[in-house]
Amino acid sequence: MQASLILQKEHFDEMVRIVSAQSPLEACGLLVGRAGRVESVLPVTNAEQSPARFRMDPIEQLRAFERIESHGLELVGIFHSHPAGPGTVSPTDIAEAAYAVVHIILSQSDEEWQARGFWIEAGQAVEIPLRVE
Ligand SMILES: [Zn+2]
C-alpha cells in the first residue's frame, strides 16, 4: 500500500475542470507520474456516459498506457467523479478496481469539489492522504 500521493495544486485544478465540465455525468482519467508523485493528468472518456457509473473508453485507455510507457512514466492514480456523492469509493468501485494505484474520488459539497484518495486491495478500501503542494 502506498503511504500518500503527492500532487500539485494545478493537477487538482485540472481534475476539477474535467469533472465539472462533465457533471452531472461521471468523468474519469489517469494520473501519470513517478514514485507516488503526479506529473500530469490525462482525461479519459467515460464510455458509460452515466451519472452513476464509469468505464474508461478502452481505446483511449490503451493509447494513454502506451504513451505513459513510452515516456518512461508510471500510472500513479485513477480518478473519477461522484457528482451526486458520496465522497468515498462505492462497492462497485472496490469490486472493479483493476490497478494497484491510488483511486481518487472527486465529489461536490456546497458547489465545491473535493478529492479523497483510496487504496483498494483484496476487496478493502483504505483512505490515504493526498498531499497537495
Ligand atoms: Zn465511483
CA of 44 relative to ligand 1 center, distance in Å: 15
- Give the bridge partners for 112, in sequence order: 109
> What's the half-sphere exposure (Cβ side, CA atoms, 13 Å) at 35?
0
Residue-range domain boundaries for the chain: 5-132
Residues having C-beta closer than 5 Å to ion ligand 1: 90, 93
State the pLDDT at residue 13: 98
State the pLDDT at residue 52: 95
State the pLDDT at residue 49: 97
State the pLDDT at residue 119: 97
State the pLDDT at residue 50: 97
| CATH number for the segment(s) 5-132 | 3.40.140.10
Each of the 133 residues of the chain gets a pLDDT tens digit; together they read 888 999 999 999 999 999 999 999 999 999 999 999 999 999 999 999 999 999 999 999 999 999 999 999 999 999 999 999 999 999 999 999 999 999 999 999 888 999 999 999 999 999 999 999 9
What grid cell was written down for 73? Answer: 512514466
CA of 91 relative to ligand 1 center, distance in Å: 8
- Distance, CA of 26 to CA of 36 (rounded, Å): 25
- Distance, CA of 119 to CA of 83 (rounded, Å): 21
CA of 27 relative to ligand 1 center, distance in Å: 10
State the pLDDT at residue 95: 96
- Distance, CA of 24 to CA of 4 (rounded, Å): 29
CA-only gyration radius of the chain, Å: 13
State the pLDDT at residue 32: 97
State the pLDDT at residue 2: 81
CA of 127 relative to ligand 1 center, distance in Å: 14
State the pLDDT at residue 110: 84
State the pLDDT at residue 1: 81
